Amino acid sequence: MPFVKGKSGNPNGRPKVVKDVQELARTYTTEAVATLAEVMRDKEAAPAARVVAANAILDRGYGKPAQHISAEVETRYVAELPSVAQDGDTWERQYSPRRLQ
């Protein structure tokens, strides 16, 4: 279903609940970063946990690293043009929608 021109597909905006949860989560930012730092520095923690904590701190401080994707794409267009029919009845037999389905 296409959007009507000039009318928003989401006229009420983002749901309020999402904003409330986001604001609540942000109240724990300092504590969360401190916990991540604690795990990162804990020599007895699993190495994987320490790396995850360090990456989480870096991602929040500097943003996630850009991912560059390169792809070579070859585009081909193929179309079959109808042949010239002798008359309308011939064209109907060859290209009627019932035949093409």
What is the C-alpha separation between 57 and 33, in angstroms, rounded? 7
- Name residue 58's amino acid: L
- Give residue 35's pLDDT: 94
Q: Has residue 84 got a pLDDT over 80?
A: no
Domain regions of the chain by residue span: 16-66+77-100
- Is the whole-model pTM more than 0.75? no
pLDDT single digits (tens) 51-79: 999 999 998 888 888 888 888 888 777 77
Closest to 38 measured CA to CA, from 57, 14, 19, 24: 57
Gyration radius from the chain CA atoms: 30
- With contact defined as beta carbons under 8 Å apart, do 38 and 17 qualify? no
For 11-55, what is each residue's pLDDT tens digit? 787 777 777 888 888 898 899 999 999 999 999 999 999 999 999
